[in-house]
Amino acid sequence: MKVAVLKGGRSLERGVSLRSGARVEDALGRLGHEVLPLEADGDLVKRLTAGEPDVAFVAMHGMGGEDGTAQELLEILGIPFTGPGVAACARCIDKVMAKHELRSSGIPTPDWFAFNETAFRELGAADALAGLEERLGFPLVVKPSRGGSALGVKFAENWFDVPEALISAFSYDDRVLLERFVDGRELAVSVLGSEPLPIVEAIPNSGDSYDFEARYEIGRTSFVCPAALGKDEAASVTETALAAYEALGCSGFSRVDLILAADGPQVLEVNAIPGLTDTSLLPQAAEAAGMSFEQLVERILDLALTPANA
Amino acid sequence: MPIRHTIPMPRPPHRRRAHARSSDLERYAGLFAERTQVMRSSAMRDLMAVTARPDVISLAGGLPDTSTFPPTAFAAQMTRIAQESAAEALQYGPTEGFRETVDCIVEVMGAEGMLPDPEDVIVTTGGQQAIDLLCKALVDPGDAVICEAPTYPGAIPVFCSYQAETIQIECDGDGMRIDELELALERLDQEGRRPKFIYSVPTFQNPAGVTMSLERRRRLVELARSRELLVVEDNPYGLLRFGGEALPPLYQLDGGDFVIYVGTFSKILSPGIRLGWAVTPPPVMEKVVLGKQAADLCTSTLTQYFVREYFAEGNWRQYIESLIEIYRGRRDAMVEALEHYFPAQATWTEPDGGLFIWATLPPYIDTSDLLAKALRENVAFVPGQAAYVDGRGRNSMRLNFSAGDEGEIREGIRRIGKTIAEQVELYSALTGEQPAAPVPSKPRETSEAENVLPFRKTGEGGGA
């Protein structure tokens, strides 16, 4: 089979995407497929058309690749592709939209308020911030609505941290959310097709759960898979994750990030196209389920070519 | 550093290793040395990866301009090497480097008034290797190393990989604050410790662009002598002076007893040839040579031959003059653009030489986040945090003016200025503070960011 691997692009997660893409290309090669590596740039459509692939493996993260843009193009060109479709990507990339969707489906997610820049610049939203303390309480997590990894995510311990945190978050997107900080265990559930994979737990080595950058650094965070959870706990986490995956309309594969608080799991976000690098969580979870990376890639391709998932 | 051009080549048939599975990684993780745990933020790495996109105007790199080096001269020199000394040029060389290379080095150092004993010189694979070899010879895990705040971002991974405790001393428009240095030394005294060395880029510092005043140079050298401390003077830019009067290098003031000197051909000829050097007292040299043997046996013979040929033509100083003219114009373009496009609350250095300007923004702006925003405008710089070991420098940035032409520099600064203006305006909307009168919103103690502000807006760096 001829498989185009879409990678790179202009997003801030370009580096991760190139690593994901390279790893997928290797696996495809070993599986005996013909690989057409494609860096997403101005010639993408031309090269896709000329290359005539049977299927496209989308190994792009962040804006342009994970937000439905690349998927829309592939639909127009009639090329089947891996991972979630246009609508699911568009919902997942935007944390505010995703949280609304989750909440209306009855899936727990931490309380939040969202603002866009216009609200502050033109509508005097700064005055409304005073209500935050009452409605959400401190500490808060301030995040860009659309953005990957820890970029622009800041912790606000009190009122005085908020303006700076907002400026940081607005550097990545014109909409930000202020989310109640929920203390608990950090878990990720990857879903393949409609099957949940073993739960991964991220444990920061420093003990500083406010250090968001640490989560993405080897040596500063340990990942345990399967997470050491009681049977009921694990079942409730998996069930919540699957519900979130379905509520957002995901298909193929995705990763649901949750916090397991004292009163149960809460969904933070769903990554439509999670990383596939050596240190990424989805491949770790697949491995814990007894799947090699090649088997994982093959399964993702199968799902892309199954009409039910198209 | 972004490499903008790669040569398209047909790929030979190759086997790519199966990527490690996470259980393999776990297995290796148990084998990794502790020093590998000290890694730069991966978020920052990913951001810097985006700066290499071809459509980005990058003021982030530190690339000297190599576009005006005459290709015909380059071809003639390399041809001569091939015709006259192919066998030797393709062979290993002595670990210390060829005597002919050292002669060129002595000539370069002489141009700044230094008279090193050729026996004290070792040729290295770039100045970077000289820093690495000095750490290898001198630093045990936990040892204190002192450097400037901010310091050369490329030195930090070296200090980290030898597990040094890096102590950074504030800089102002006159370079490293020697009074602060004395306080730090006293604190170490009280703990019964002494630093292994004091690392400084005294002239047109990377990243701050400032130059240590003559008075401070003298005090630093006296301090080193009276306390018998080593100073590592890294001087890649000394000959790239566009204005003001040249100051004596620390090495010249000291005579080479307590000052170790690191030099390079990267900024006066080419970084691609990877040729630098160190000048050290003989006992240190012995250890450095052993370290060099272990690291790579010898520096490239071929590029040493090239330098020999190049210097034999006798035009090396004219080439530097031509670079100075180019860089002066680019610095002027950058300073003009900064005045025009950066907000009133920003300050920046105006260097008399070198490759970099250091700009500092209001304390509520984090330049790592600003970089993400700037990348949407297709422009990049180095966030100030990269020049500190402890997360300071968050509201500063390093701007390079040697790599792009004047038009690119103006456009790059215009775009960065636009993103800053948006953040200043937003902050004002958020806090109700007037942008013209920036007051830190935090009631708590003075933030660290403010402590790294004291660069003067005008270039006074060269004054004594």
B359: domain CATH number is 3.90.1150.10
Q: Do A15 and B20 touch (CB under 8 A)?
A: no
pLDDT on residue A206 = 67
A103 is catalytic: no
pLDDT on residue B438 = 43
Q: Do B429 and A120 touch (CB under 8 A)?
A: yes
Does residue B71 form part of some domain? no
Check whether residue B266 and residue B333 sit in a common domain.
no
- What is the least distance, in Å, from the CA of B47 to any CA of chain A? 6
Does residue B440 form part of some domain? no
pLDDT on residue B136 = 97
Give the helix ranges, DSSP H, for A41-83.
Answer: 44-51, 69-77
Q: Peptide bond before B207: cis, by omega within 30 degrees of 0? A: yes
Q: Which of B290, B312, B334 is the last residue of a domain?
A: B312
B120: domain CATH number is 3.40.640.10
User: CA–CA separation, B165 vs B142, rounded Å?
Assistant: 5
Q: Which of B285, B312, B339 is the last residue of a domain?
A: B312
The number of folded domains in chain B is: 2
Check whether residue B333 and residue B248 sit in a common domain.
no
What average pLDDT does this structure show over B244-265? 96
Check whether residue B280 and residue B232 sit in a common domain.
yes
> B337 pLDDT exceeds 80?
yes
Name the pLDDT band for B434 (thresholds 50, 70, 90): low
Q: Do B240 and B62 meet the contact criterion of CB atoms below 8 Å apart?
A: no
- For an interface test with A, the pick among B38, B42, B56, B163 (most A C-beta atoms closer than 10 Å) comes out as B42
Q: Do A287 and B22 touch (CB under 8 A)?
A: yes
To the nearest whole percent, how much of chain A has pLDDT over 70? 94
pLDDT on residue B10 = 61
Check whether residue B40 and residue B95 sit in a common domain.
no
Name the pLDDT band for B460 (thresholds 50, 70, 90): very low
The DSSP code for B269 is T
To the nearest whole percent, how much of chain B has pLDDT over 90? 77
> B459 pLDDT exceeds 60?
no
Name the pLDDT band for B29 (thresholds 50, 70, 90): low
Instruction: Pick the range with the lowest mean pLDDT from A108-117, A207-216, B153-162, B205-214.
Output: A207-216
pLDDT on residue B454 = 42
Does residue B453 form part of some domain? no
A269 is catalytic: yes
Check whether residue B209 and residue B264 sit in a common domain.
yes
Q: Do A26 and B16 touch (CB under 8 A)?
A: yes
Query: CA-CA distances (angstroms) from residue A8 to A231, A310, B126, B430?
Result: 40, 23, 32, 35
Residue A274: count of CB within 10 angstroms of its CB: 25
Q: Which of B294, B312, B330 is the last residue of a domain?
A: B312
SS3 B330: helix
> A272 pLDDT exceeds 70?
yes
pLDDT on residue A179 = 94
pLDDT in tens, B376-413: 899 999 999 999 998 899 999 999 999 999 999 999 99
Residue pointed to by tokens 């004091």: B198
What average pLDDT does this structure show over B131-145? 97
Rounded to the nearest 5°, which phi and psi values hold at A142? -105, 125
Name the pLDDT band for B461 (thresholds 50, 70, 90): very low
> Residue B378's domain spans which residues?
34-63+319-431
Q: Do A95 and A267 meet the contact criterion of CB atoms below 8 Å apart?
A: no
> B109 pLDDT exceeds 60?
yes
A216 is catalytic: yes
What average pLDDT does this structure show over B100-105? 98
Check whether residue B238 and residue B279 sit in a common domain.
yes
Check whether residue B325 and residue B423 sit in a common domain.
yes
The DSSP code for A224 is E
Check whether residue B272 and residue B352 sit in a common domain.
no
Rounded to the nearest 5°, which phi and psi values hold at B282? -50, -40
User: CA–CA separation, B263 vs A69, rounded Å?
Assistant: 50
Tell me the chain A residues in contact with residue B31 when contact means C-beta distances shorter than 8 Å. Answer: none
Does residue B29 form part of some domain? no
Tell me the chain A residues in contact with residue B442 when contact means C-beta distances shorter than 8 Å. Answer: 160
Does residue B95 form part of some domain? yes
Does residue B13 form part of some domain? no
Check whether residue B165 and residue B102 sit in a common domain.
yes
pLDDT on residue A205 = 73
- One of A25, A179, A201, A269 is an active-site residue; which one? A269
The pTM assigned to this predicted structure is 0.85
Winning range, highest mean pLDDT, from A77-91, A200-214, B26-40: A77-91
* First-residue to last-residue Cα distance in chain A: 18
Check whether residue B350 and residue B308 sit in a common domain.
no
Query: CA-CA distances (angstroms) from residue A13 to A8, A68, A145?
Result: 8, 15, 15
Residues 157-216 of A with CB under 8 A from B: 160, 162-164, 166-172, 213, 216
pLDDT in tens, A134-189: 888 899 999 999 977 778 899 999 888 899 999 999 999 999 999 999 999 999 99
pLDDT on residue B358 = 97
Check whether residue B188 and residue B250 sit in a common domain.
yes
Domains of chain A, with CATH numbers?
A: 2-82 (3.40.50.20), 91-108+183-309 (3.30.470.20), 112-180 (3.30.1490.20)
User: CA–CA separation, A204 vs A221, rounded Å?
Assistant: 4
Check whether residue B234 and residue B333 sit in a common domain.
no
